[in-house]
Homo-oligomer: A and B are copies of this chain.
Amino acid sequence: MTTNAPAKADSRAKKQGKSPIKVIIDTDPGIDDAFAVLMSLSCAPELRVLALTSSFGNVRTEKATENCKKLLRIYKSSGSRKGSEDEKGDEDDVVYVAEGSKKALNGKQKEHIADFVHGKDGFGDFEKDKEDLLEAKEDVEVYPGGSAKLMYDLAKTYPGEVTIICLATATNVVNAFREYEDLPKMLRSVVHLGGAYTVSGNVNPAAEANVYADAEAADELYGTHGVDIYAVGLDVTMNVRMTEENLIKMRDTKYVKGRETLTDEERQFLFNSSQFYMNYHIKSLNFRGVLQHDSVCVMTVIHPEMFEWTRARVRVATESFARGMVIMDKEGEKNWSFENAWTERPLMNVALTADFEAIEKALMERFI
C-alpha cells in the first residue's frame, strides 16, 4: 500500500520532540468509542491515527462503519479548528476506514446489540429525526480490502511501528492474524479494551462485553506469541468517570487555538450523544455521568506509566455461563504440580489497577 503520508500530523508532534505513535483504532462506535476516536484524532498529538476499522458490539458492523465515517467527518469539518488554522483536519491527513467482520469467530452474530446503552444509531439517537444530515456528505471512502488487509498493509508500510487499539471484540485482529501469519511480529503492540479480572463483568458476573461477544477471539488473541499484548478491562475503566457536571463544562467550553482539546463541534456532538448513555448509567449504576472505557484504553498508549501492568498468562472461558471469563496465571506466582491450559501461553500485560485520578485528569484536560 502506498499512503499519502500525513506529513503535517507528524511535524506537529515533532514540535513536541516526539514522533507520534502510529495507531489503528478498531472500534464499534458507540458513545465511549466516539470520545476515544475524536480525542485520538483531534487532541492527541502523541498519536497518529492511520485508520479506523469497524467492528460489532455497541452497534452492528455496518453501522459501525457508518459511524467511523461520521466521526471522521465531524473531525475533518470542525469549523472551529479550521478557523484557527490548526494543522489537523488537513486534506493530506489521510485516515483510512475499513470494514471488519460482522460475526464472531464462531460464525454467530452478537445476541444483544447494545442499543439499550448507546441508542439505535450508536450515538444516543439524538439526531434520529435528521439521520441523513451528516450521512449525506460522502467524503470518506471505505478501504476496499477490509480490515485484515488494511491492518497488514499499514504494518508493512511501517514495520514495527503500528499499534492496534482494539476497542471492541478481538475478532478483526484475530482474523488479520489468521490471514497474515507474519503480521503479529510486524506490529508494535496490540491493546485490547476487555475483561473483568478482579471485578464482576458488565454482561453478567463472569464477563465483560468485548470479551463475551467473541470469547474465542479473545482467547486466541491472548494466546498469540510474538507480539506485545496489553489488556485493560473493567478493573480499571469502571473507576474512570466523567460526571454530568463535566459533560456540561465540556459543552460550554470554547475551543482555543494552541490547546490540545476537542473542537466546539466535537464537544457538542459528544455532549448530545452522552445524554442517552448517561441515562443508562443512572439506571444501571445510579451514577449521573458516563464511564470512559474506550478513552481509558487509548490512554494506555499515551500514558502507559499511569497503569500498573501485571505480566500474566491469560485464558478466556468459552463455555456455558463462564463464557467470557478471563482467568489469569501471574508470572511465577505458582509452581504448578501439573501442566495446565496456561502453561504454553505467552505472557501478556494486564492493567489490574491504575492511577485513576491521573487518568481522569489527563482525559478531562482534553475534553474540557
Report A's interface with B, CB cutoff 8 A: 112, 116, 198, 200, 202-206, 283-285, 313, 315, 317-322, 325, 327-330, 333-338, 340-342
A205-B328 in contact given A200-B333, A285-B335, A317-B317 (Cβ < 8 Å): yes
A219 to chain B, nearest CB (A): 10
Q: For the complex, what is the distance from the CA of A330 to the CA of B320, rounded to whole Å?
A: 20
A342-B283 in contact given A317-B322, A317-B325, A319-B322 (Cβ < 8 Å): no
A325-B328 in contact given A204-B336, A204-B342 (Cβ < 8 Å): no
Secondary structure of the A contact surface, majority rule: loop
Flag if A204 contacts B319 (CB, 8 Å). Answer: no
25 contacts between A and B (CB under 8 A): A112-B337, A116-B337, A200-B330, A202-B334, A203-B338, A204-B329, A205-B313, A205-B327, A205-B328, A205-B329, A205-B334, A205-B340, A205-B342, A206-B327, A283-B335, A285-B334, A285-B335, A315-B322, A318-B320, A319-B319, A319-B322, A321-B327, A321-B340, A321-B342, A322-B327
Flag if B319 contacts A315 (CB, 8 Å). Answer: no
Sort A-B residue pairs by CB-CB distance and give the 3 closest, nearest first: A321-B341, A205-B329, A317-B322
Taking A319-B322, A321-B342, A322-B322 as known contacts, 13 extra A-B pairs with beta carbons closer than 8 A to each other, sorted by chain A number, are: A112-B337, A200-B329, A203-B338, A205-B329, A205-B334, A205-B340, A206-B327, A285-B334, A315-B322, A317-B319, A317-B322, A321-B327, A321-B340
Q: Which of A204, A315, A319, A334 has the most CB of B within 10 A?
A: A204
Residues of B within 8 A of A335 (CB): 283-285
A271 to chain B, nearest CB (A): 24
Q: For the complex, what is the distance from the CA of A329 to the CA of B313, rounded to whole Å?
A: 24
A287 to chain B, nearest CB (A): 11
Residues of B within 8 A of A116 (CB): 337
Flag if B317 contacts A321 (CB, 8 Å). Answer: yes
Flag if B319 contacts A320 (CB, 8 Å). Answer: yes
A152 to chain B, nearest CB (A): 31
Residues of B within 8 A of A338 (CB): 112, 203-204
A118 to chain B, nearest CB (A): 12
Residues of B within 8 A of A319 (CB): 317, 319-320, 322
Q: For the complex, what is the distance from the CA of A56 to the CA of B6, rounded to whole Å?
A: 67
Contact partner, A328, options B200, B283, B284, B313, Cβ 8 Å:
B200
Q: For the complex, what is the distance from the CA of A313 to the CA of B333, rounded to whole Å?
A: 28
Q: Which of A116, A200, A333 has the most CB of B within 10 A?
A: A200
- In the complex, residue of chain B having the shortest beta-carbon distance to the beta carbon of A204: B340
